[in-house]
Amino acid sequence: MLHLGIRLCQPLGQARWFASHIVSHQLWFYASDVPKRKPYTPDYKPTRSPQKFLAFSQDDCERLEAFYQSWASSQTKKSRVPVNEDLLFNVDLANMELNAAYWDAPTYEVRRGIWFDSQDRPLSAELTEELEKFRSQLDFDSPEELQNDVCKFTRTYEEGNLVVFVDKKTAYILQDMDGGDLQLNLIRANISSPLLLKGTKIFRSDFQDLHHGSKNKVDHRRNQLGKISELITWEVLDLFGINAPKTKELESQRENDILEREIESDYDNQGPSNSRDINHLVLCVHGIGQTLGKKYEYVNFAHTINQLRTHMKKIYDESPSLQELNHQNGFKDWKNNCNVQVLPITWRHEIGFKTDATAKNPEDPSLPTLSNITVNGVLGLRRLLGDVALDILLYSEPHYKEKIKTQVTRQINETYHRFKERTPGFGGKVHLIGHSLGSLILWDILSEQHKYKLDFDVNNFFCVGSPIGVFKLIQRSKIGSSEPQEMENLRRERPSCDCLYNLFHVCDPIAYRLEPLVDARMAQYEQRYLPHRTGESITSKMLEIGGSLWKEKHEKSKKNMNKRETLDPEIASRLTDLNYTGRLDYSLPPGFLEVDFISAAKAHISYFEDMDIANFLLKEILSNHQRAEEIVVEKLQIETG
């Protein structure tokens, strides 16, 4: 005979009731596999509940709990808590969600870990609140009450709509009670599996019980950073229809895994989250082809810059010479803090024109779509050019050029002021990095400070994989201060910065030199080469071997005819006015076997994943610049045969 006493939970009260009954330390988690919202995708809706949750650091957990207790009891308006490494993210307690503080990124659900399922996943806030309220109403010292009591939730959850408590810390959530008294007896005896009992077994735990295990899971994922450049081969092959269907299916799964690892690694939170001292703020502006990997959406550039930040910290930790630079500058935490913060500026999604072939122009829907005017031949190549080249065409059109410069200026200033607000006392230097078209945008902004005014002075300006050289050549503009003897119709431009750098890979088809635009005689001299930072990994060793082979071939091609000489003082003066070293162009040598189209595409998008680039940027940012008295250059020899 079915004999059930079902107690219906009372309507839920305010959050302050919930908080007042929880006094032990709790874990805080965020979802990593299913976002709640996506920027630039207003119609996005999650198709399932998140299944993967990562724990915040112990420091974040303690601060979140303390703030939550205060917020829940007083219901103050301020509900954002800065969290994660360098406080780059916020937890919104009112909506229980995690989002990036400085750039557009997916928003993820946050859960306060009190009740967990058998896979150590925290239950939702609504379900947890009902469980806690019902638990507070039960007398666990009176077995008779438990034998005749089943709680029915006020709503149906994914796990079920009924709960049976075994003890204070164990319960089963059920979809139904078809098994009657037998099912209840098996549950209370705790001798059968949840699957046979048609229920979900849940546990109540505290901070000490679960934190260690969750941290191990997070640390494991942090070692699996995904690289955008790893996928360029498959992107290009797919555009030309070369991938076999089975291989494409496997690669698609691999891409999804990489994307998830990217999101998890970007929310790096196991180090100290207290705001460290920052003396150098670096703002990075992206360039063309940000829609090339459409499946990565906004994760693309923000994730890449997160990688650059991680590389800089790793390099600093392993470099006594870099640490000494901060020591000389009098920084108290010079042993473990590089004192540099790197943030992305993502402008492309704010510009109306869409490179999606079928997307309508939001500014004038009567215009045809890109697909309407596309010729049918070599569609793969056309799609690639559409992703990479259209942004350059946009910047050549006055309407979009004005819009892009205005938008980038606004975002840079807003990010700068937001950083100052979140980093009280910051009075250090600000540096700019522009990648590809981003460098040209920054160049024009810095050359027109009367119109596109930045709210700070720029120390170092790094152009990376930059087409500035060819643009300025077409515009009949030279670089540097004007000279009296030059032709009247020849323009000279000088960006407002202390030091200008032009970094490029010799295989990058988008990059051009700048020094010959300062003085045409610089075309006869080689650019400088970035020193290679040797690592211990097999990949690093292969790159070192490849670089050595290239260097040997390069030297042989010159037939030992290199001629080192001191640069003419007139040219040197023009160059040192732009960079204290007297050189602007710095190149990475080509890696091992980098000779094909795919390698060229990789070269253009992989700068921020390169440890040599990160090492050079960090060294130049931290160094105290002293103007070079003389500049030694090498003649550029033309290869023959």
Catalytic residue among 214, 229, 436, 447: 436
Q: Which residue from 341, 262, 414 is spatially nearest to 617, judged by alpha carbons?
A: 341
- Letter string b/e over residues 387-421, b meaning 16 or more CB atoms within 10 A of that residue's CB: bbebbbebbeeeebeebbbebbbebbbebbeebee
Q: Under DSSP, is residue 602 helix (H, G, I), strand (E, B) or coil?
A: helix
Q: Which residue from 190, 205, 127, 192 is spatially nearest to 163, judged by alpha carbons?
A: 127
349 alpha-carbon distance from chain centroid:
16
- Which residue has 């874990």 as its token pair? 27
Q: Is 427 exposed, middle or buried (0-12, 13-18, 19+ CB in 10 A)?
A: exposed
Q: Which residue from 419, 307, 330, 325 is spatially nearest to 618, judged by alpha carbons?
A: 325
d(C-alpha 47, C-alpha 191), whole Å: 35
CB atoms under 10 Å from CB of 483, counted, come to 12
Which amino acid does the sequence have at 113?
G
d(C-alpha 120, C-alpha 25), whole Å: 16
Which amino acid does the sequence have at 638?
I
State yes or no: is 436 an active-site residue: yes
Q: Which residue from 634, 460, 616, 403 is spatially nearest to 530, judged by alpha carbons?
A: 616
Got the DSSP string for 391-421?
HHHHHHSHHHHHHHHHHHHHHHHHHHHHHHH
Which amino acid does the sequence have at 176?
D
φ, ψ at 540 (rounded to 5°): -60, -40
- Give the number of C-alpha atoms closer than 13 A to the C-alpha of residue 362, restricted to the C-beta side: 8
- As a 3-state breakdown, the chain gives helix, strand, coil percent values, each rounded to 5, of 40, 15, 40
Q: Provide the 8-state DSSP code for 197.
A: T
- Letter string b/e over residues 3-26, b meaning 16 or more CB atoms within 10 A of that residue's CB: eeeeeebeeeeebeebbeebeeeb
Q: Which residues pair with 491 in a beta bridge?
A: 477
Q: Which residue from 147, 177, 191 is spatially nearest to 165, judged by alpha carbons?
A: 147
Got the DSSP string for 305-328?
HHHHHHHHHHHHHT-HHHHHHHHH
| CB-based contact 213:220 (threshold 8 Å) | no
| CB-based contact 90:98 (threshold 8 Å) | yes
| CB-based contact 503:468 (threshold 8 Å) | no
d(C-alpha 531, C-alpha 521), whole Å: 25
Catalytic machinery residues: 436
